Structures are given as C-alpha cells and as structure tokens.
Structure 1
C-alpha cells in the first residue's frame, strides 16, 4: 500500500460525491477541497485548471480523460483506472496511489514530487519533462515505462523494476542502480558514463 512520505496522515474528507456519471464533463477552473469521490466516472472528462485539494478518489475511472494545468494536491487515489489519461503541466504534489491502473497514461511536464507510487504497475505509461523529486517508487513495476528528462532526484527506487525502461535525459542518483533492476534499460551516452563510473568501472576514451 502506498503511503505518504514521512508518514504524514491522510487528511479527512468532509463531503462525498458517490456513484456519479461525470463522463465527458468539462471542469474548467473549478475547485474541490476534502471531497470523497466514490465510484465516480470521469471518463473523457476535460479538466482545465481544476484544483482538487486533499480529496480522496475510490474506484473512480479516469479513462481517456484530459487534464491541463490542473492540480491534485495531497490527494489519495485508491483502485482508480487511468487508462489512456493525459496530464499536461499538472501538479500532483504529495498525492498517493494504491491499487491503481496506469496503462497508456501520459504525463507531460508538471510536478509529481513527493507522490506515493510504491508498488505501482506503471508499465506502458510515459513521463516526459516531469518533476518526480522524492517520489516513492519503491517496488514499482516500471518495465518499458518511458521517463524522458524526468527529475527523479531523491526518489525512492529500492526494488523497483526498470527493465527495458527508457531513462534518457532523466536525473537520478547512480547509487540507485545498486537497488533496482535495470536490465535492458535505455540510457543516453552521458548517463552511461556516469553510471559506469558509479559501478566502479574505469571509463576512458
């Protein structure tokens, strides 16, 4: 189960939206705070500039939804489906995910720092130019996941599976290589030099 960094408790919700069909709804500039969304269908929702603060999402469907310049701050997602969802320039700082599906999810830009993704199955998802500082990816399955120019500095990656993942241009500590599975991982030439040196190899021209 994903947990918040440093053991911070999950904020209590104050209102509930249950079993609602928000399929195709436009969320533009709306704000929600400490709301529990239970079994809500957000399929094909277009969310531009919406803000969700300390909300909880349980059994919700975000399939093929589009989120631009939106924020999900310190939210908790449980058993939610993000199939083919797109997050463009969004902020999800401090949010946690438990038992969620991320097939074909696309994240471009934005700040996902301090997110809780331990044990998440991220195979097939892509993250480009995303800040993931101090994110918890402990034991996550990131096989064939794309991380292009992602900032993974300070992230927890112990026991994560990065087989055949694409890490080109991403920033992460070379020490992580000793605690994660990187067989077949794609890196660029500058990364290869740094990682080789971290493994004790003598890199020469």
Structure 2
C-alpha cells in the first residue's frame, strides 16, 4: 500500500502555478543621460555598465528597459515603476525601492544588500540566480513571483502578502514571516530552508515531507509541545 504524503487528504489540491512574465524587449537605445532624475520617463532604454550610485530616480517609470551590469549603491527609486523590463548583473547596497511597482520583470544574477522594497508590489516577476542579503519586503505584495537558484539571506517578509510564489533550488536563510499571509506558496524546491520567525503564518504554503520533519521541532515549540525521548 502506498504511503500517504503530508498533503494527502480530502481537502488537498494542486498548488496554483506561478504566472511568469513573457518579455520581448524591442531594440533598445542607450540611456542618453549621465544619471537618473526624479519622475523620469524611460521607454525602450538600455542602461549598461553605468555607475548610478546615489542617483535619485524616485517616481520614475521604466517601460521595456534593460539595466545590465549597473552599480546601484544607495540609488533612490522610491515609488518607481519597472514594467516589462529586465535587470541583469546589477549590484549595490541600500538600493531604495520602497513603494515601487515591479511588473513583468526578470532579475538575473543580482548581487544586492539591504534592498528596500517595503510596501512594494511585485507581479509576474522572476528572480534568477545571484544573492540578495537583508531584503526588506515588509508589507509588500508578491503575486506570481518565482525565485530560482538564488540565495536570500534574512529576507524580511513581515506583514507581506504572497500569492502564487515559488522557490526552486534556492537557499532561504533566516526568513521572517511574522504577520505574513500566504496562498499557494510552494516551498518544496527550497534547497536550504531556515525560518527565523512566523512559523504560525505557514498556512497557505506547501512543504515537502522532509522539510516537514525538519520543521517539526519549531512547530512543536510554537504549539507549546514538549518533546522528550
């Protein structure tokens, strides 16, 4: 007789798949300014190997753009709109994207630290490869977001809403889920899963049997259950 899985039961259902972006960038023209400016309007522009450290592009719109190999230390993109765009090999510490709208975007091989995305909206986004330390996604909304082959160190998802979010071959270290709301969040592909806070918010997530066993002591502690041999 086959052994039932942890998700088996009359109420079990398939995890809703992530709807992914379908990018088809037009022929891009090089960005023709030395730096960003607040409330800028960028359409079909290529930002390649630019030093944008400390630049202020708050409130700007990037439509069908590509940022490749750019330095974003302290770059201010508060309330910016990144639409139908790709970011490849960007790097920086303290990039400010609070309240931003990120839709139909691919982020590949990023090296970022302390990125501020609190209160942002991410829709149909793929984060592929790279490493992001101390990512602040507090009170953000993630819908149809796929993390693939990346390392996330101490991401803060407190109070965030996640729907149709998946993790494949990722390391998820020290994640804070306090007050978060999850629906169709697939954690089964996480290679390294370390939850620092918010075990009680895992309703709406799917984990593997092995992950469930690893998380059992934390679940027991959450319920006040003492386990002794």
Q: Same fold (TM over 0.5)?
A: yes
Instruction: Give runs of aligned pairs for residues 1-205 of structure 1, distance below 5 A.
Output: 17-170=37-190, 171-173=192-194, 176=197, 178-180=199-201, 182-196=202-216, 198-200=218-220
Q: What do the CA deviations read for 1:81-114 (whole angstroms, capped 9, x no partner)?
A: 1101110111221111133210111101111210
Task: Please state how far the C-alpha of 1:135 moved relative to its aligned partner.
Answer: 1.5
Task: Please state how far the C-alpha of 1:50 moved relative to its aligned partner.
Answer: 1.1
**Segments of 4+ in structure 1 off by > 6 A?**
none
Match of 2:29 in 1: none
Q: Which moved further from structure 2: 170-179 or 158-167?
A: 170-179
Question: Helix, strand or coil for the counterpart of 1:144?
Answer: strand
CA contact (8 A) 1:174 1:198 kept: no
- Using the alignment, how far apart are the partners of 2:72 and 2:195 within structure 1? 35
Name the structure with the higher strand share.
2
Aligned length: 186
Task: Please state how far the C-alpha of 1:140 moved relative to its aligned partner.
Answer: 1.3
Q: What do the CA deviations read for 1:147-178 (whole angstroms, capped 9, x no partner)?
A: 22332212222122233200113223366463
Q: CA RMSD in A?
A: 2.2
- Using the alignment, how far apart are the partners of 2:158 and 2:205 within structure 1? 17
- Using the alignment, how far apart are the partners of 2:186 and 2:106 within structure 1? 19
Query: Any gaps of 5 or more consecutive residues in structure 2?
Result: 1-34
- Using the alignment, how far apart are the partners of 2:173 and 2:118 within structure 1? 22
Q: What do the CA deviations read for 1:60-100 (whole angstroms, capped 9, x no partner)?
A: 21101101111242111133211011101112211111332
